[in-house]
Amino acid sequence: MQNSELSSSCFHCGLPVPDDARFEVVINEKTRPMCCPGCEAVAKAIVDSGNSRFYDMREDKQATAIPLIPEFLQQTAVYDHPDIQKSFVNHNGEVSEASLILEGISCAACIWLNEQHIAQLPGVLSVNINYSNHRATVRWDNDSIKLSEILQAIAAIGYQAHPYSPERQQEVFEAERRTQLKRLGIAGLFGMQVMMIAIALYAGDFSGMELEYESFLNKVSWLLATPIVFYSAVPLFRSAWRDLSQFSVGMDVPVALGITIAYSASIYAIIKGEGYVYFDSVAMFVFLLLGSRYFELIARKKGVEAAEKLMQMQPATATRIVDSEHQVIPVVELNQNDTIMVKAGETLPADGYIVEGGSSVDESLLTGEFDPVTKVVGDKVIAGSVNVESPLIVCVSNVGTETIMAGILRLLDNAQNDKPPITLLADRAARYFVFGVLIIAAAVAMYWSNAAPDFWLPITLSVLVVSCPCALSLATPAAISAASTHLLQIGLLVTRGRAIEALAAADLFAFDKTGTLTKGKPVVDRVENLSSENETQLLQLAAALERYSEHPIAKAIQQNVSMGKIDLTEVVNIPGQGVHAVWQGNQVAIGSRKFIKDLFALDVDDQGANGTEVLLADKSRLLARFTLRDVVRSGAQALLNDLTDKQVDIALLTGDNAASAQKIADELKISKLFTEMSPEDKLKQLQAFQQQGRRVVMVGDGINDAPVLAGADVSIAMGNASELLHLGSDMVLLNENLQSLNRGVKISTKTLKIIRQNITWAIGYNLVALPLAVSGNLSPWMAALGMSLSSLLVVANALRLSPQKTHKLG
Ligand code: ADP
Ligand code: MG
């Protein structure tokens, strides 16, 4: 593609320029078209900093801009520009958070190195690198450090970081896959020849091959093995070198050492004309190791495919309406309060609410629920969902990193990065392990060079290669990553990876009632006027009080009541209990029986209410009684049955009155029932359970139950998507169906099993393999095979947790 000012592609990034875009930059005295303000700003920065030559070099090489930007960016601050940060940086006061793609990661050790390195930069608050997609989430304090400085620091240790974008990630992945495949191919091709020769030589050993002929074949092997060492094995050497230059011993150090020793000892033997050659072992190591890394790359990718797809759902353009004119603009240019049009079949580019039109929307990617949801004017719609039926006009409320989908993905990323204690232990063990292996190898070399001088080299090689801490360090993250992606697909968002294990190990599930076991959409069944007041006015008073509450009951009471002129002062909303205020100089309140009783010291008798009871009262008397009805959520019974089958205890903690709660408890056959509890009571009860040694899962609605949720071993919030970002819980149920939670428990149980298998396998393998190698019972090729298979097996085992078939995605 030759760039010219007439071309309709962006001079900077090569993407098409939208018809109505008017972005230009003068580069080398020519006006060049740009597709968006982002490219315009980058290009301007390049020109202004005197680096226009960048574009000449690029033209000479006919390369696109994209691969060259990072190099340049190492010396510039363009990524600190607010316009450019808009699409990938999330700001919260002075704290910023961004997703970066890391290039050049080859194994778990690189991830560790990067984490250590970035975390120690002054001003960086936290850093997490996702093992599966090499995405780093960095949080930093804007006052102390700039993003560009972080990018430079990463470059300084030999990696490259770019702002995250799905296309970019795909490109990086493809490029990585292609190079790995090429290296593997070369190793395979030449390795095969080396092996043939080795077989011929072994056969010759027995049949008495002529010395001259043997020496010729050895030299040919040397020739053939050379590209394997100097091309295919480069990543192994590079990563070993990187570790050593950071004064640490990573997992590739023993392997690189093994290859170097075998290769040089063989050359020495050829030149000296005595001793053995090991080119076949070298070829085998490299081929098997690269082969297992290649499959690991593919497997890793597969494990997070669903989440990646979600990310790619973001459309590239949006239709903005300005003065009844439709403009197609890149999504990054959307702003809050823009009005956009979303046609049927299109994906929503941002969060917002409908201002015109009505349709049904498929939110399955976010909730795991496949039935489209009907939406009318005033309803919220979320980015990433698909408009199914008819066009919608939407007022944008959140864009870019602020959308609910972006929030979900951020939480998911954090969960996948979360290192349960067992992983931390494995990581630490892995580091000592490598060190130990090097020492053992040295001892082995010394011992065998006396005991059997002919064999010290192959035995030492086997020792260096056979041990594999990779399997150990992959055991948990591979499983957590695959499982959390699967869980998201069924509508259960995991925000802390360790919660998956904890969920599987829990022995008591405590449920809240309203909004958790029940749908949380109660309707008022009956209103009794207990005073001589005008009923309409009482209803209006109740509705006025409830305007201050978020509780589902509050919504039910406000329904169908026309707002009167009721002026309230000193309003206090007590979550999970009710609301009180001053009206016409008197204190009035609405809430549970216990709440009213405690507040006004009124003697309220138990009516054995036939549903959830809410009382309206003033200081001296009861004014009205509301009885509400709510239905049990679908999937509740199945969930409780399956938990009971698993020998897990079930408790119901509710603020509701005994009679109403008993009805639900009977219906669902729950024996441990605790009623009329305030949120604090619930927390106390939960702690009492914990003191009995129970590991408690609390399932509650996010707003009212925040304290209990916070106290539980695992907290699961019923998420109404719009609140989910503020809920600090370990997991969020994104849809209405408790069946998802039921499936989630099963997936967690399976995950725990797989993690245990993986760790047992990884430790067991090393315990068996190392002594075999040390005692000279493993030939180098067996060692190489064993090591490669051991980490492949761990990853393959974890992949059993991936969703079976990704339906409807993409
Ligand atoms: P649950 O524990 O079953 O989810 P909550 O703790 O949310 O129930 O609420 C307990 C009780 O407190 C309700 O049954 C109701 O009587 C009363 N209550 C809580 N909030 C309100 C409110 N905003 N208006 C009226 N009553 C309320
Ligand atoms: Mg509740």
Q: How does pLDDT run across 471-528, given as a tens digit for each residue? A: 777 788 888 888 988 898 888 888 888 889 899 999 999 999 888 898 888 889 889 8
Q: Whole-angstrom Cα distance, residue 493 to residue 485?
A: 9
Among candidates 362, 418, 191, which has minimal Cα distance to 287? 191
Torsion sign over Cα 419, 420, 423, 424: positive
pLDDT above 70 coverage of the chain, percent: 85
User: Given a cut of 60, is residue 420 above it in pLDDT?
Assistant: yes
d(CA 654, ligand 1 centre) in Å: 8
Give me 405's structure tokens: 């989908």
Amino acid identity at 385: S
Residue nearest to atom 21 of ligand 1 (CA): 578
Q: Which distant-in-sequence residues (6+ apart) come within 8 Å of 727 by Cβ?
A: 702, 706, 709, 717, 719
Beta-strand ranges (E) seen in 226-338 are 317-322, 325-330
- Mean pLDDT confidence for 88-94: 79
Higher pLDDT: 416 or 329? It is 329
What is the reported pLDDT for 307? 64
User: Given a cut of 50, is residue 62 above it in pLDDT?
Assistant: no
Beta-strand ranges (E) seen in 648-691 are 649-653, 672-674
CA 682 to ligand 1: nearest atom = 2
Beta bridge partners of 347: 386
Ligand nearest to the CA of 576: 1
Q: What is the mean pLDDT of the chain?
A: 82
CA 657 to ligand 1: nearest atom = 14
Residue 140 φ then ψ, to 5°: -145, 165
Q: What angle do CA 256, 782, 450 make, to 5 degrees?
A: 70
Helix crossing, 636-645 with 658-668: angle to 10°?
70
d(CA 576, ligand 1 centre) in Å: 5
User: Among 103-112, 373-382, 451-460, 688-697, whose mean pLDDT is lowest?
Assistant: 103-112
Amino acid identity at 468: C
Residue nearest to atom 26 of ligand 1 (CA): 591
User: Given a cut of 80, is residue 348 above it in pLDDT?
Assistant: yes
CA distances 486 to 408, 527, 536, Å, are: 14, 46, 51
Query: How many Cα atoms sit within 13 Å of 309 on the Cβ side?
Result: 18
Helix crossing, 166-207 with 234-245: angle to 10°?
110
d(CA 376, ligand 1 centre) in Å: 29
Residue nearest to atom 14 of ligand 1 (CA): 656
CA 590 to ligand 1: nearest atom = 25
Q: Whole-angstrom Cα distance, residue 68 to residue 276?
A: 47
CA 575 to ligand 1: nearest atom = 20
Residue nearest to atom 15 of ligand 1 (CA): 592
d(CA 613, ligand 1 centre) in Å: 9
Q: Whole-angstrom Cα distance, residue 310 to residue 550?
A: 30
Ligand nearest to the CA of 664: 1
Higher pLDDT: 47 or 222? It is 222
CA 661 to ligand 1: nearest atom = 3
d(CA 483, ligand 2 centre) in Å: 28
Beta bridge partners of 510: 651, 698
CA distances 607 to 530, 610, 615, 706, Å, are: 13, 8, 12, 30
pLDDT in tens, 294-306: 887 787 777 666 6
What is the reported pLDDT for 274? 79
Residue nearest to atom 7 of ligand 1 (CA): 576
Ligand nearest to the CA of 557: 1
Q: Whole-angstrom Cα distance, residue 221 to residue 73?
A: 44
User: Given a cut of 60, is residue 59 above it in pLDDT?
Assistant: no
Q: Sorting pLDDT into bands at 50, 70 and 90, what band is 67?
A: very low
CA 614 to ligand 1: nearest atom = 16
Give me 783's structure tokens: 């060692």
Among candidates 498, 417, 496, 484, which has minimal Cα distance to 114? 417
Residue nearest to atom 18 of ligand 1 (CA): 577
Burial degree of 441 (CB within 10 A; 0-12, 13-18, 19+): buried
Q: Whole-angstrom Cα distance, residue 531 to residue 588?
A: 14
Please list the helix, strand and coil fractions of the chain in percent, rounded to the nearest 5, in that order: 50, 20, 30
d(CA 701, ligand 2 centre) in Å: 5
Hey, how many other C-beta atoms are within 10 angstroms of the C-beta on 276? 14
Beta bridge partners of 511: 652, 699
Pairing of strands 731-733, 714-718: parallel
Amino acid identity at 177: R
Q: Sorting pLDDT into bands at 50, 70 and 90, what band is 392?
A: very high
CA 574 to ligand 1: nearest atom = 20
d(CA 704, ligand 1 centre) in Å: 9
User: Given a cut of 90, is residue 542 above it in pLDDT?
Assistant: yes
d(CA 115, ligand 2 centre) in Å: 40
Hey, how many other C-beta atoms are within 10 angstroms of the C-beta on 144? 13
Residue nearest to atom 13 of ligand 1 (CA): 656
Residue 274 φ then ψ, to 5°: -150, 160
Q: Residue 414: enclosing H or E segment and its boundaries? A: helix 404-417
d(CA 533, ligand 1 centre) in Å: 25
pLDDT above 90 coverage of the chain, percent: 23
Q: Sorting pLDDT into bands at 50, 70 and 90, what band is 228?
A: very high
CA 299 from chain centre, in angstroms, equals: 16
Give me 724's structure tokens: 């989910």
Q: Which residue carries 């990018």 as its tokens?
A: 151
Q: Which distant-in-sequence residues (6+ apart) come within 8 Å of 597 by Cβ?
A: 603, 604
User: Among 250-254, 428-432, 493-497, 550-554, whose mean pLDDT is lowest?
Assistant: 428-432
Please answer whether residues 531 and 623 qualify as being in contact, where contact means their C-beta atoms are separated by less than 8 angstroms: yes
Q: Residue 171: enclosing H or E segment and its boundaries? A: helix 166-207
CA 613 to ligand 1: nearest atom = 16
- Mean pLDDT confidence for 154-181: 79
Query: How many Cα atoms sit within 13 Å of 632 on the Cβ side?
Result: 18
Q: Whole-angstrom Cα distance, residue 142 to residue 445?
A: 53
Q: Sorting pLDDT into bands at 50, 70 and 90, what band is 751?
A: very high
Higher pLDDT: 428 or 220? It is 220
CA 752 from chain centre, in angstroms, equals: 18
Go through 685-705 and write b for each residue having 16 or more CB atoms within 10 A of its CB, e for each that does not.
Answer: bbeebeeeebbbbbbbbbbbb
User: Given a cut of 60, is residue 63 above it in pLDDT?
Assistant: no
Give me 29's structure tokens: 């005295």
Please answer whether residues 437 and 256 qualify as being in contact, where contact means their C-beta atoms are separated by less than 8 angstroms: no
List the helix and strand counts (H, then E) for the chain.
Answer: 27, 29
Q: Whole-angstrom Cα distance, residue 715 to residue 721?
A: 16
d(CA 655, ligand 2 centre) in Å: 8
Which range, 185-199, 360-374, 525-539, 720-734, has the best average confidence (pLDDT)? 185-199
What is the number of residues in the chain? 810
Beta bridge partners of 386: 347, 362
Residue nearest to atom 25 of ligand 1 (CA): 591
Q: Which residues line ligand 1 (CB under 6 A)?
A: 512-515, 546, 549, 551, 553-554, 576-579, 590-592, 612-614, 654-656, 704
Ligand nearest to the CA of 656: 1
What is the reported pLDDT for 37? 59
Q: Whole-angstrom Cα distance, residue 56 to residue 507?
A: 66
Q: Whole-angstrom Cα distance, residue 419 to residue 425?
A: 10
Pinpoint the alpha helices (H) of 516-583.
Answer: 535-546, 552-558
Q: Whole-angstrom Cα distance, residue 191 to residue 577?
A: 74
- Mean pLDDT confidence for 114-118: 82
